[in-house]
Amino acid sequence: MSILVTGGRGAVARRLTALLSERGVPYRLASREPDTPDGVRCDLADPDTFPAALAGVRSVFLYAEAAGIDAFVREAGAAGVEHVVLLSSSSVLKEDAAVNPLAAAHLAVEEALLASPLRTTLLRPGAFSANARGWSWSLNSGRPVRLPYPGAHSAPIHESDIAEAALTVLTDPARGGGAHTLTGPHSLTFVTQLAILGSVLGRTLPYESVTPEQWKADVDGHLPGPYADALLGYWEASDGLPAATSDTVEQLTGHPARSFETWAEDNAAAFN
């Protein structure tokens, strides 16, 4: 019996499968469009792909996709799945989660799993350190990063810490179940993140403040309007307000959460 790891093209899933492989734990890497010879197709919005992906699976690392979650729960139960670890989001804890499009999908998947017989573990990371990769397009072209709220705080988490937390709850039966809010070790503004990244790269990284409307125009065609509005609302609410941090990564993995500087060192090549 193996572990199904969905979202196979994502950084967390890739790191998780590497950890499973190192420990000799059998797994199946799934995605909408597999790009490895041993990958399997599992489109989380297409229930027709579920039976084959779930056959012989005992545990699932699941990305949050609300469109097919009811069918996924049914097929997982029929296949004999015992445990689902959901990559959710700490945004579900906010008061506007039910109407915020960035949170609502995660919340819908959480509710469907918790209402099912499947044992469910919820991993709720906040902002990913990897979000900074979005700046590489501008920086590698010699342009400043355009920020509508340069002073907005978050506690960005390294994708390796999420993967290691997932490994723990997937492979240690005593640690499964419950909900875990995951953060990086420090609350940082966007300006501070750029300064840290620039220090690692050995050069000053420019940015310019823009209005929310200008930023929305920048991302038009790449990010749907409601999602852009949700991000702007989150950044506005956290402008100048330090983000809460947790020690959950250390509790689950045995080591403190990696710093943003560590993430920058690990990903410096993307900015060169």
Query: 149-200 pLDDT, tens per residue?
Result: 999 999 999 999 999 999 999 999 899 999 999 999 999 999 999 999 999 9
Closest by CA position to 243, among listed 162, 183, 195: 183
Residues 148 and 53 in one domain: no
Residues 111 and 133 in one domain: no
The confidence score (pLDDT) of residue 131 equals 97
Using an 8 Å Cβ cutoff, are 13 and 29 in contact? yes
The tens digit of pLDDT for each residue in 75-121 reads: 999 999 999 999 999 999 998 888 898 899 999 999 999 999 999 99
Residues 121 and 131 in one domain: no
How many Cα atoms within 13 Å fall on the side-chain side of residue 253?
21
Q: Is residue 177 part of a domain?
A: no
> Which amino acid, 216?
K
Residues 121 and 133 in one domain: no
Q: Is residue 109 part of a domain?
A: yes
Residues 70 and 144 in one domain: no
Q: Is residue 213 part of a domain?
A: yes
Nearby residues of 103 by Cβ (< 8 Å), 6 or more positions away: 89, 91, 92, 94, 96, 97, 230
Residues 117 and 220 in one domain: no
Residues 23 and 42 in one domain: yes
Q: Is residue 113 part of a domain?
A: yes
The confidence score (pLDDT) of residue 102 equals 85
The tens digit of pLDDT for each residue in 127-154 reads: 999 999 999 999 999 999 999 999 999 9
CATH number reported for the structural domain that contains residue 241 in this entry: 3.40.50.720
The confidence score (pLDDT) of residue 25 equals 96
Where is the domain boundary, 78, 101, 125?
125
Residues 147 and 263 in one domain: yes
**Number of domains into which the chain is organized:** 2
Full residue range of the structural domain in which residue 262 is found: 127-157+183-272
Cβ count near 243 (within 10 Å): 19
Residues 234 and 100 in one domain: no
- 1: pLDDT strictly greater than 70: no
Nearby residues of 159 by Cβ (< 8 Å), 6 or more positions away: 11, 12, 15, 128, 129, 130
Write out the two tokens for 9: 């093209």
The tens digit of pLDDT for each residue in 229-242 reads: 999 999 999 999 99
